[in-house]
Structure 1
Amino acid sequence: MKKWMVVVSLVTVIFSGLASCGTNPESSQSGQHEKQTKQVVKPVQLSVKSDKVETDDHGNFVISGKTEPRATLYINGERGTTADQNGNFEFNNEVKADHDYEAVITAKKKKMKQKKVTVSIVLSKGYLAYKAEEKSREEQTRIEEENERNEANRLLAAAENNLKSSDLDEAKDYITKSKYLTISDYHYRINGIWNKISAKQEELARQEAKKKEEIRKQNEAREREKQAAANAAKERQSSTSGNSGSGNVQASVDKNEQQVLVTKTGSKYHNRKCGNGTYYPATLSEAKARGLTPCSKCYGR
């Protein structure tokens, strides 16, 4: 019985030894590997000269510091510079806001963990005054440009309402001499107004030609009337002088001949005043000699 117990104890010890020999080396190697990995990935060293910088009067600022040699530096995610062989770096930037803000500096290098630091960017009083003056100049420019544009629109509106080429020339001259406006900005509007002016001038020319033609016709009608009256008087004079023996008879005939009323420019003879105008007495033969015809109102059936 004692021998059996001794054998069992020996077997237990042997198996325990084998188990410990099979597991402990692997655990030991894994622990060493993790330790080596942690030692390789180390963070980048990064420091700045000051965590608060102030701009100059024009909004420029400088951030300098030290990091790993040849490390790449970023400012707010944008690549900015590379450290020299001693790890020194410097950012020369211009502010991108109209108020104080923070800039994040990031240093990166292969096989190392990146590092970030935050720097406060403070706008100087000189820069704030400079921006205020710049804003005032911009506002003044905006007002001047708006005034010039309003005046150009007023001149163009006057040219469009009056349809005078002189008004349009005045508007174009103003725009050409303007500090902020260009004639090309008003190209289509100017052309549209000029087309209207041209159409008006053509219409006025047609009306003037029509008026001249009417005057010409009226003058010709007057000349015909004068000529007819002269011919009638000449015929009467010839008839009287050619028949001196029958003067009393002719005078009696003229006296008893039908009397009518005529106007200087009319084409009809009347037996009464018919409508507006100045009427003159004449004999029927005189009226017919002038080529006049009876008025349908006075002699109508």
Structure 2
Amino acid sequence: MSVFIGLIGFLGIIIGGFLLLRAVFKKQPKKKVLLLTSASFIMMVGAIALTPASPRINLSKKIIETNDQGIAIIEGKTNDESSISLDGEKIKTKNGEFSYKVTLTDDHSQKFTFVASIGNTDKVETIEVKPSKTFVAFLNEEKQGQETLKKAETALVSAENKPTQKNYDEAATRISTLTRDKDDFTKRLAIVKENIPIYEAVELAESKQTKEQVDSATDLVANATLNKDSLLKRLTTVQQKITEKELAEKQLASAREAVEKAEQEPTDDHYNQAIAKIKELPNSNTELTKRANKVKQTLTAQKEEAKKLAEAQKVALEQEQAAAQTPETPVPDTQETGEMVLVTRTGEKYHNHKCGSGTYTPATLEQAKARGLTPCSKCYQ
């Protein structure tokens, strides 16, 4: 509607101007013409006043670069009626001008879209912000510095967790390359150096596993400033191993003594005691087990021999009883191998019956001859 009224006013001004010129040349009355022209002008001005303003935005550049810190200032102009925003954030304007500060955090360009709004009408302008070469160089230097710092921190933490000379040297080398935040690293490195002898003493105690080394390490750990609880636990473990080792040595000595006794005096009791001692050992002992098995074999052989001897004695007793009931018949000197005879423990003859005093025991003719015994002249006439 305001546009239509403005158009009528504009036409009225043109027509009024034409009529006014004609009235001047012809010297006619000008009052009505002036009234028409004035009314048309008023209508056009009113129409313009009623027409809503359009949003306007004009950025100073389409592409800008940051400074060496990654900062760029975006400048622009607008009309008083417009409000300027960026991603929903309202930008302050003054006398139709505005500026906005942006900071890049990497070496990639970014685009920013500004919106000028009046009511529901918007107008947008986009600007690209590029990182400058000096800022890219700064980022690369910063990245390299961060990597150097990270490597130094990693090496120092490793040295703090395990303060050995090797880890200390690695951390010292990394820290020497730092250009910032060096003081704190240097202080922490000095603490690592103080704890190296303590850590080495604990490692030596773990390796040697002697009471002297444990006592020495314990005295040093009392002054530790790194991983003190962990070091004390490690020493406790070493002490437990030493105690277990001493116990195992005592058990081994006891088992060896029991086996030696069983070897010297092979009896069931001695054998069973040796086996019991071997089973008490924390780890199996092949040598003692083999020696105990030999004792077992000796016992078995003795039992077999005793069994045979008992059987022979039984046979001899039966023969003696039979001989007592029947006339004695000399045993010819041509006995077959396997024939039973009687012998004494210290005698040099073998007999076919009790012949004189002494303790007679049965034996095979082959066994008697193997002992070098000869036939009794009385028994074998």
Q: Same-fold call, TM > 0.5?
A: no
TM-score, structure 2 normalization: 0.35
TM-score, structure 1 normalization: 0.43
